[in-house]
């Protein structure tokens, strides 16, 4: 089937009727205060910022801008809850709270998914089927560990750290909050968390869950704001550990400001993962994996498969099938259940992505975008691939964080491996082949924390996650994720 006939078939003959998720069942307040010591409180200085819907550019709510003093109030509440209640509580009792939080999240899953898609722009299918269930799963998983920490570390005595400061990005807002808060609480720490400034709403809803679960006041505090609020958490003298997910640039700033202090830290930073397709792979499945790897969540994924390395003998076939598949992807209203690609999270991120599209063309690569129409309002980027790129091109080396794929070819396994590893990052990778032995050979030699074989972007709370090189420091998730929130004494 030629590309042209596919376009005709899918674009003209296969329009789906709109299937939007309703917003009748959700409640978004006009203003949100800070969640400190179990209550929503006004910021010390009367300053708020707007959170908008990136699919319409319309404001959704006003979010409190926390100052250094507000952060100090939150840290004090967390310290008091730590020494007074949480560090004294048995693991079994901490686990009961975590189970309760997980169950309430499940009960309110539809509301969470809808708000996540409204505030962040991701397709409802992803927030409904991935973000929210996985967020609840993290609370369930770590609830189970709360009373078993000594079994995780035999012959050692696990001791909580104290107050932990957590700073998260906008690409998986609720999931990142759960990913950070659940293990911290299971290990007996208390928390001050800052969501990203474009996606604070589900964190505010999560604060309601904590309150409804009867979590003792001060065990989790949520302060909203941008970089300076995050920096105030990092630099607060009474914070014992900092956990950050975001850009490598900010990760380096945080690492520098923590040098010489006794604060522990974990950093989950950027990535430039390669999906490596061998000639013996099941090509149709691999194409689906490439699409999932880079177009999932608009490419706003630190472990996105943003590079494609395809063995030369099947390169033409893979690129042709990929272009055909791209034509069928539906871009538009994040609340529509048929949508594959939602809105870019912010005007700033769209600008970054568009600057890379120009850079790629200026570097001499050939750009191809699908033909689909995009709405007039809001921030959108059509799925994009670049061919004819070379290893030194910026679009091959730098994180774009958008639905943009750079395609290269290789002949031998060694060449594929060398190209895959030729990057300052090392977060994830994908290998597609029919041969188990090749999978093992590749996975042993790819310098990345997570490698998928014949699949991509699969997540599970039991599995550790983290990077090599500029992709970060430390591991989150699974049993490894417990170690990041404990001191292990003899």
- Which x/- pattern, by CB under 6 A, does the window 193-232 give for ligand NAI? -x-xx----------------------------xx--xx-
Tokens of 362: 């200026």
Alpha-carbon distance of 233 to 329, in angstroms, equals 41
Of 268-327, binders to ligand NAI (CB under 6 A) are 268-270, 302
Residue in the block written with tokens 């594929």: 416
Nearer to ligand NAI (CB atom), residue 61 or residue 311: 61
Of 116-175, binders to Mg ion (CB under 5 A) are 119
Of 47, 222, 80, 240, give the one whose Cα is nearest residue 159. 240
Q: Find the part of the chain contacting Mg ion (CB under 5 A) among 128-136, 195-203, 222-230, 405-413.
A: 195-203
Based on the shown chain and the rule CB under 5 A, indicate whether residue 346 belongs to the binding site for Mg ion. Answer: no
Based on the shown chain and the rule CB under 6 A, indicate whether residue 352 belongs to the binding site for ligand NAI. Answer: yes
Instruction: Say which entry of Mg ion, ligand NAI, none residue 245 contacts (CB below 5 to 8 A, set by partner kind).
Output: ligand NAI
Based on the shown chain and the rule CB under 6 A, indicate whether residue 171 belongs to the binding site for ligand NAI. Answer: yes
Q: Rounded to the nearest whole angstrom, what is the least distance from the CB of residue 54 to Mg ion in the complex?
A: 6
Q: Rounded to the nearest whole angstrom, what is the least distance from the CB of residue 194 to ligand NAI in the complex?
A: 6
Helix (H) or strand (E) holding 310, with range, is strand 307-311
Based on the shown chain and the rule CB under 6 A, indicate whether residue 401 belongs to the binding site for ligand NAI. Answer: yes
Q: Rounded to the nearest whole angstrom, what is the least distance from the CB of residue 337 to Mg ion in the complex?
A: 21
Q: Rounded to the nearest whole angstrom, what is the least distance from the CB of residue 307 to ligand NAI in the complex?
A: 14
Residue nearest to ligand NAI (CB): 230
Q: How many residues bind ligand NAI (CB under 6 A)?
A: 26
Out of 126, 268, 327, 470, the active site residue is 268
Instruction: Say which entry of ligand NAI, Mg ion, none residue 51 contacts (CB below 5 to 8 A, set by partner kind).
Output: Mg ion
**Residue 381 appears among annotated catalytic residues:** no
Of 321, 322, 290, 324, give the one whose Cα is nearest residue 432. 290
Beta-carbon-side half-sphere exposure of residue 119 (alpha carbons within 13 Å):
32
**Residue 366 appears among annotated catalytic residues:** no
Contact 342, 298 (CB under 8 A): yes
Of 328, 316, 406, give the one whose Cα is nearest residue 367. 406
**Contact with ligand NAI (CB under 6 A) among 120, 217, 246, 383:** 246
Q: Provide the 10 A C-beta neighbour count for residue 46.
A: 8
Alpha-carbon distance of 385 to 357, in angstroms, equals 10
Contact 63, 32 (CB under 8 A): yes
Based on the shown chain and the rule CB under 5 A, indicate whether residue 324 belongs to the binding site for Mg ion. Answer: no
Q: Rounded to the nearest whole angstrom, what is the least distance from the CB of residue 197 to ligand NAI in the complex?
A: 5
**Contact with Mg ion (CB under 5 A) among 127, 160, 190, 198:** 198
Instruction: Say which entry of ligand NAI, Mg ion, none residue 430 contacts (CB below 5 to 8 A, set by partner kind).
Output: none
Alpha-carbon distance of 171 to 245, in angstroms, equals 10
Helix (H) or strand (E) holding 211, with range, is helix 201-212
DSSP sequence for 268-281: E-----EEEE-TTS
Instruction: Write the CB contacts of 14 (distance below 8 Å, at least 6 apart in sequence).
Output: 328
CB burial of 298-319 (b: ≥16 within 10 Å; e: otherwise) equals: bbbbbbbbbbbbbbeebbeebb
Q: Rounded to the nearest whole angstrom, what is the least distance from the CB of residue 75 to Mg ion in the complex?
A: 26
Q: Which letter does DSSP use for residue 108 in this model? A: T
CB burial of 331-364 (b: ≥16 within 10 Å; e: otherwise) equals: bbbbbbebbbbbbbbbeebbeebeebbeebeebe
Q: Rounded to the nearest whole angstrom, what is the least distance from the CB of residue 165 to ligand NAI in the complex?
A: 9
Instruction: Say which entry of Mg ion, ligand NAI, none residue 488 contacts (CB below 5 to 8 A, set by partner kind).
Output: none
Instruction: Say which entry of Mg ion, ligand NAI, none residue 398 contacts (CB below 5 to 8 A, set by partner kind).
Output: none
Nearer to Mg ion (CB atom), residue 51 or residue 189: 51
Q: Rounded to the nearest whole angstrom, what is the least distance from the CB of residue 410 to ligand NAI in the complex?
A: 25
Instruction: Say which entry of Mg ion, ligand NAI, none residue 219 contacts (CB below 5 to 8 A, set by partner kind).
Output: none
Nearer to Mg ion (CB atom), residue 51 or residue 339: 51
Angle between helices 109-120 and 132-145 (to 10 degrees): 120
Out of 21, 187, 302, 381, the active site residue is 302
Instruction: Say which entry of ligand NAI, Mg ion, none residue 253 contacts (CB below 5 to 8 A, set by partner kind).
Output: ligand NAI
- Which x/- pattern, by CB under 6 A, does the window 410-429 give for ligand NAI? --------------------
Beta-carbon-side half-sphere exposure of residue 382 (alpha carbons within 13 Å):
17
Q: Which letter does DSSP use for residue 45 in this model? A: S
CA geometry: angle at 60 spanning 59 and 66, to 5°?
95
Q: Find the part of the chain contacting ligand NAI (CB under 6 A) among 192-200, 284-292, 381-389, 443-451.
A: 192-200
The beta-strand segments (E) located in 320-460 are 366-369, 384-387, 404-410, 428-432, 450-453
Residues classed as catalytic: 268, 302
Interaction site with Mg ion (CB under 5 A): 51, 119, 198
Interaction site with ligand NAI (CB under 6 A): 167-169, 171, 194, 196-197, 226-227, 230-231, 234, 245-247, 250, 253-254, 268-270, 302, 349, 352, 399, 401
């Amino acid at each position: 089937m030629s590309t042209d006939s596919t376009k005709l078939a899918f674009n003209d003959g296969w329009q789906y009727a709109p299937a939007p998720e309703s917003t009748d069942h959700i409640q978004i307040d006009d203003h949100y205060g800070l969640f400190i010591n179990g209550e929503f409180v006004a910021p010390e200085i009367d300053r708020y910022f707007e959170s908008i819907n990136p699919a319409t550019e319309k404001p959704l709510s006003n979010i409190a801008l926390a100052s250094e003093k507000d952060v100090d109030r939150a840290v004090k509440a967390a310290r008091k809850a730590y020494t007074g209640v949480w560090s004294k509580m048995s693991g079994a009792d901490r686990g009961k709270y975590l189970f309760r939080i997980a169950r309430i999240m499940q009960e309110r899953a539809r509301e969470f998914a809808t708000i996540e898609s409204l505030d962040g722009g991701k397709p409802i299918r992803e927030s409904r089927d991935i973000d929210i269930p996985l967020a609840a799963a993290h609370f369930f998983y770590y609830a189970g560990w709360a009373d078993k920490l000594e079994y995780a570390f035999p012959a050692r005595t696990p001791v909580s750290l104290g107050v932990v400061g957590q700073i998260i990005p906008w690409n998986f807002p609720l999931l990142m909050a759960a990913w950070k808060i659940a293990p911290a609480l299971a290990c007996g720490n208390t928390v001050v968390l800052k969501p990203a400034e474009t996606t604070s709403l589900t964190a505010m809803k999560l604060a309601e869950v904590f309150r409804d679960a009867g979590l003792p006041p001060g065990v989790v505090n949520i302060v909203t704001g941008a970089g300076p609020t995050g920096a105030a958490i990092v630099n607060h003298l009474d914070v014992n550990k900092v956990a950050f997910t975001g850009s490598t640039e900010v990760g380096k700033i945080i690492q520098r400001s923590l040098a010489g202090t006794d604060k522990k830290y974990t950093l989950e930073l950027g990535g430039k993962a390669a999906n490596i397709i061998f000639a013996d792979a099941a090509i149709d499945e691999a194409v689906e994996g490439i699409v999932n790897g880079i177009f999932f969540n608009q490419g706003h994924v630190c472990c996105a498969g943003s590079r494609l390395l395809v063995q030369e003998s099947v390169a033409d076939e893979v690129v042709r099938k990929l272009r055909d598949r791209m034509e069928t992807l539906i871009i538009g209203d994040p609340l529509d259940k048929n949508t594959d690609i939602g809105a870019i999270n912010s005007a700033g991120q769209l600008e970054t992505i568009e600057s890379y599209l120009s850079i790629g063309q200026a570097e001499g690569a050939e750009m191809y975008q699908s033909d689909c129409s995009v709405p007039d309002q809001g921030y959108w980027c059509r799925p994009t691939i670049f061919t004819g790129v070379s290893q030194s091109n910026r679009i091959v080396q730098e994180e774009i964080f958008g639905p943009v794929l750079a395609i290269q070819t290789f002949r031998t396994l060694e060449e594929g491996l060398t190209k895959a590893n030729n990057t300052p990052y090392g977060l994830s990778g994908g290998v597609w082949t029919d041969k188990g032995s090749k999978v093992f050979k590749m996975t042993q030699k790819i310098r990345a924390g997570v490698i998928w074989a014949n699949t991509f972007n699969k997540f599970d709370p039991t599995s550790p996650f983290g990077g090599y090189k500029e992709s970060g420091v430390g591991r989150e998730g699974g049993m490894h994720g417990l170690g990041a929130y404990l001191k292990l004494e003899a």
